[in-house]
Structure 1
Amino acid sequence: MVDTINFQICFPEANTLKKILDTISGLMKDCVFNITPNGLFVDAVDETRICLVSLALPDTYFSQFRCNQATQISLRLASFVKLIKFCDTNDTVTLSQRSSQPDQIEILVESQKFRQTMNFVLRLTRADSEQLSADKFAPDSVISLNSSRFATLVRDLSALGSVVRISSSSSDSTAIFEVTGEESNAAITVGNAKDDGEGGASISVKQDVDLKFTLRYFILFSKAASLANDVRIELAGGSPAVVCYEFGDGGKIQFLLACSVDGDEEEEPLDEADAGDDI
């Protein structure tokens, strides 16, 4: 039997891979990565079925990309992160798999700075995590703002309460992030920036929304601020929130979060109407 390469893909910067893993490892223990001739993709729901994670890295994102056979690999994220910690920021990381060893992947780290290479083998886990993809819907309101600003906003609000109420107004194109705590309340109003300067917000409201979400998920999502300068939040009545970060050459990571039920900390799990077959 001829030993062939199922896939061989190279991340141009180890730092980006570190940031991706840091973001999704807070939401799940194992993750299934789908490698196709078109790129690398993840569509996975967390264990609570409250959050859906979608990652898309097209073949053009990678410095080298070769996929001879569409392959699905399930990895223990904590183990993957331990290996990637060996890398410096600008190292390249190549993932590959041989047809003769379908139960593992090979990781090659190359450092131009130190003129050295490191080789690792990471064994796969059983692919028993549930995979779902998101149905598209037309948002009623879209909030775009600096990703670091969003990270600070949700972190600060979490000091007062566990649930955030997000409402939008078409009359003045604003969005309000509001938290009600045991001893205090807080409301942060975000409006359209007067110019296109760095950090400016953009609010588009076709229809007013008034929804509640658990803040700790937004805090986990905001780890992706290290990947992208801006974040886009799409809201629609009766639908999960979509939090999207775009980075690099066509890279995108987005999260769907179910609404909180009656303002309680626990959300209503995503159902088939929220997570379907189309991404």
Structure 2
Amino acid sequence: MFEARLVQGSILKKVLDALKELITDARWECTSTGMTLQAMDSSHASLCGLLLREDAFEKYRCDRQITLGMNLGVMSKIMRCASNDDIITMQSEDDPDTLTFKFESKEGERDSEYEVKLSDIDGEHLGIPDQDYSVTIKMPSHELARICRDLSQLGDTLEIAVTKNGVQFRTEGDAGQGKVNLKQVTNADKEEDNISIDMEEPVSLTFASRYMCFFTKATPLSPTVQLQMTKDSPLVVEYKIGDSGHLRFFLAPKIEEDEN
């Protein structure tokens, strides 16, 4: 038996809104310690990893490990049937063919139930090794969303360069070029408005703008976002989900072609 009751049902809606345009089908791995999801986009350019620990749920039961294969587009449509403040409960048997969603209003005057057919989805869990990063940036998530949106108007790539002077986001295209410079901020009125730049050595990497814009669809999940970079390695973009999980995106840098 699997049962997970999420009082803040909006968390699940926000996760799906962040993933549905990037990933079509995904495997939700459920164990006694929580739920995880790992999937690559169709072009295999980016990887996403979701963790929701058991303490994210008011009630959580998973008698044995199960895999729930679902189309995220269908799941997102079901989520639209829930109000933002609804309590969401997911239930299935140990060898599931379907997953049941129950939506309850906070006052208990309304409840609804939907059943979704599950599917077998190929995929294997990729072991992502722990790594030391040369640069860790923590900043307001809405600020990263704005930068990616604005600079994507001019170019297809986004260069992120970190030096002792701060971090620069830069793009260049046929129509022109643009850049945004950020410096460290430690005394903002709200802690989530601070900008922290931890640098062991300067790093400059270039990424596809469209994927960066996809990642920032997770902005509603967290007021802050963390970026980690090191030379010749994928960028890690992480949104914390309270103290009970996270949504991470991994994106390989673009390699400059030789002029020859």
Q: What TM-score, normalized by structure 2, do the two folds share? A: 0.94
Q: How far did 1:197 drift?
A: 3.1
- Measured in 2, the distance between the counterparts of 1:205 and 1:263 equals 27
Superposed CA RMSD in Å reads: 1.6
- Measured in 1, the distance between the counterparts of 2:257 and 2:205 equals 9
Which residue in 2 is equivalent to 1:182?
Answer: 174
Correspondence 1:40 to 2:32: no
Aligned with 2:147: secondary structure?
Answer: helix
Q: How far did 1:130 drift?
A: 4.8
Q: Do the aligned residues in 1 keep the contact of 2:156 with 2:208 (CA within 8 Å)?
A: yes
The Cα offsets for residues 87-114 of structure 1, whole Å up to 9 and x where unpaired, read as 1111111111123x62111111111346
Structure 2: runs of 5+ lacking an equivalent: none
* Alignment-mate amino acid for residue 82 of structure 1: K
Which residue in 2 is equivalent to 1:274?
Answer: none
Which residue in 2 is equivalent to 1:93?
Answer: 88
Q: Do the aligned residues in 2 keep the contact of 1:30 with 1:129 (CA within 8 Å)?
A: no
Map 1:170-249 to 2 at 5 A.
170=164, 172=165, 174-198=166-190, 199-249=193-243
Map 1:9-48 to 2 at 5 A.
9-48=4-43
Q: How far did 1:200 drift?
A: 2.3
* Alignment-mate amino acid for residue 122 of structure 2: D
- Measured in 1, the distance between the counterparts of 2:93 and 2:27 equals 18
Which residue in 2 is equivalent to 1:270?
Answer: none
- Measured in 2, the distance between the counterparts of 1:31 and 1:263 equals 33
* Alignment-mate amino acid for residue 221 of structure 2: L
- Measured in 2, the distance between the counterparts of 1:130 and 1:48 equals 16
The Cα offsets for residues 40-94 of structure 1, whole Å up to 9 and x where unpaired, read as 0112222211111010111001111011111111101111111111111111111
Q: What TM-score, normalized by structure 1, do the two folds share? A: 0.88
Q: Do the aligned residues in 2 keep the contact of 1:44 with 1:132 (CA within 8 Å)?
A: no
* Alignment-mate amino acid for residue 107 of structure 1: F
Structure 1: runs of 5+ lacking an equivalent: 265-279
Off by >4 Å, runs of 4+ in structure 1:
none
Aligned with 1:31: secondary structure?
Answer: strand
* Alignment-mate amino acid for residue 24 of structure 1: L
Q: Residues 96 and 114 (structure 1 numbering): CA distance in 2 closer, same or farther, change over 3 Å?
A: closer
* Alignment-mate amino acid for residue 35 of structure 2: L
Q: Do the aligned residues in 2 keep the contact of 1:180 with 1:186 (CA within 8 Å)?
A: yes
Aligned with 2:149: secondary structure?
Answer: helix
Q: How far did 1:136 drift?
A: 1.7
Q: How far did 1:14 drift?
A: 2.1
* Alignment-mate amino acid for residue 167 of structure 1: A
Q: Do the aligned residues in 1 keep the contact of 2:186 with 2:196 (CA within 8 Å)?
A: no
Q: How far did 1:196 drift?
A: 3.7
Q: How far did 1:132 drift?
A: 2.0
- Measured in 2, the distance between the counterparts of 1:249 and 1:12 equals 15
Aligned with 1:18: secondary structure?
Answer: helix
Aligned with 1:134: secondary structure?
Answer: coil
Q: How far did 1:121 drift?
A: 0.7
- Measured in 2, the distance between the counterparts of 1:183 and 1:24 equals 30
Correspondence 1:139 to 2:129: no
- Measured in 1, the distance between the counterparts of 2:93 and 2:53 equals 21
Correspondence 1:59 to 2:59: no
Which residue in 2 is equivalent to 1:250?
Answer: 244
Aligned with 2:73: secondary structure?
Answer: helix
- Measured in 1, the distance between the counterparts of 2:257 and 2:46 equals 17
Q: Do the aligned residues in 2 keep the contact of 1:213 with 1:263 (CA within 8 Å)?
A: no
Q: Residues 261 and 130 (structure 1 numbering): CA distance in 2 closer, same or farther, change over 3 Å?
A: farther
Q: Percent identity?
A: 26
The Cα offsets for residues 209-240 of structure 1, whole Å up to 9 and x where unpaired, read as 01100011111110111010000000000100
Q: How far did 1:176 drift?
A: 0.7
- Measured in 2, the distance between the counterparts of 1:168 and 1:211 equals 9
- Measured in 1, the distance between the counterparts of 2:44 and 2:60 equals 32
- Measured in 1, the distance between the counterparts of 2:157 and 2:124 equals 26
Deviates more, 1:108-117 or 1:25-34: 108-117
